[in-house]
Amino acid sequence: MALGVTAAQQTIYTTLLYHPGSTLSDLTRLTEQPRARLAGLLLELQALGMVGVDGSAEPAYTPYPPDAVVETLIRKRETEFIRARIEAKRLSGDLLAAEQRGNPEKLVEIIDGREAVAQRWEQVQRGASRQVKTIDKPPYATDPTRPNEIERDRIANGIEYRAIYTPDALAIPERLEIARDDTACGERARVLENPPAKLVIVDDELALMPLRGDEPGITALIRPSTLLDILISVFNTCWEQATPLRFDDEESSPPGVWPRLSDADRHLLTLLAAGLKDEAVARHTGMGSRTVSRHVARLLRTLNARTRFQAGVHAARRGLV
């Protein structure tokens, strides 16, 4: 039977299945076990929820049905595992805190090399239990034109992803399409023109941040500390300031609102909301730069906006893209 049941306990339980209502004297005769040992085993079976006992002068023992016993044992083991995990996490936290007091350098680990950074990026995603938050801006330690399959798998398993993209990131055509697909999978995405740093925060318990903005191959892993608290605050502030990145199609656009906006206009506004410049918009749409400039000028007048980015922001807030 396993599940924490010893061979001796299982022997007595099996005997009771074939001889329900047996007394201690009956079991002594049936099993040829010493009376004192049997009494101890029966107490253990009661504690495990495997047998019941009546209140007569010479108590009789009755086994509970095997399927109910197995369910009870499974729940008991699950409870023990949960307690063990909680205790292990507490001990790990105590150990980490003690280690950090004695070795403050453990608060920050330096990861050197793009391959090592990419491996750690995968590792921290797989270790997330609640949430992954990122500020996505070039340059990259990994190929920015390839989708993050780990993210999509983790989202499917209930992990929340929040991403703040810079216009420079979305100017990479493949990156914009990846962002579109990721939001369709459940990523919450926003755009911010100039966030202070590239950043990853996992469960608000650790962060990854390049030490130099132009070299993602030298990255710091920051563990719980005042520095991590500051980085969490930075991300939260950026998130509040950022504009939602939306990829609504025609069917999801509000009917009767801005009827002069065509599909091409809505696509163009999406690119403007992402902060792309005319040259990048031209690459995405296949239009020439002059044609893009004419369309942008018309949309600026329509939306009463002074800048391209402002036009995209206004459109996003009005639900036009």
208-242 residue pLDDT tens: 999 887 788 899 999 988 889 999 999 999 998 88
Sign of the Cα torsion 62, 68, 74, 77 reads negative
- Quick one: pLDDT band at residue 256, thresholds 50, 70, 90? very low
> pLDDT tens-digit profile of 100-147?
555 556 688 899 999 999 999 999 999 999 999 999 999 999 999 999
Confidence label for 251 from pLDDT (cuts 50, 70 and 90)? very low
Q: Considering only residues 254 and 196, tell me which one the structure prediction assigns the higher pLDDT.
A: 196
**Residue percentage of the chain with pLDDT more than 70:** 81
Q: Is the pLDDT of residue 64 over 80?
A: yes
What are the distances in angstroms from CA 31 to CA 15, 59, 69?
Answer: 8, 17, 22
Q: Which of 166-170, 175-179, 197-201, 313-317 has the lowest mean pLDDT?
A: 313-317
CB-CB contact of 231 with 201 (8 Å):
yes
Within 167-320, strands assigned E span: 188-191, 199-202, 206-212, 215-222, 243-244
pLDDT of residue 172 exceeding 70:
yes
pLDDT given at position 252: 40
Distance from the first to the final alpha carbon of the chain? 60
| pLDDT band per the 50, 70, 90 thresholds, residue 258 | very low
Query: Residues 6 or more apart from 111 whose CB is under 8 A from it?
Result: 117, 120, 208, 218, 219, 220, 221
Mean pLDDT of 188-199: 89
Region for 204 from its dihedrals, namely left if φ exceeds 0, alpha if ψ lies in -120 to 50, beta otherwise: left
The pLDDT tens digits of the residues spanning 274-308 come to 777 778 888 888 888 888 888 888 887 777 666 66
The pLDDT score that the predictor gives to residue 196 is 87
Query: Could you say which DSSP state residue 197 is in?
Result: -
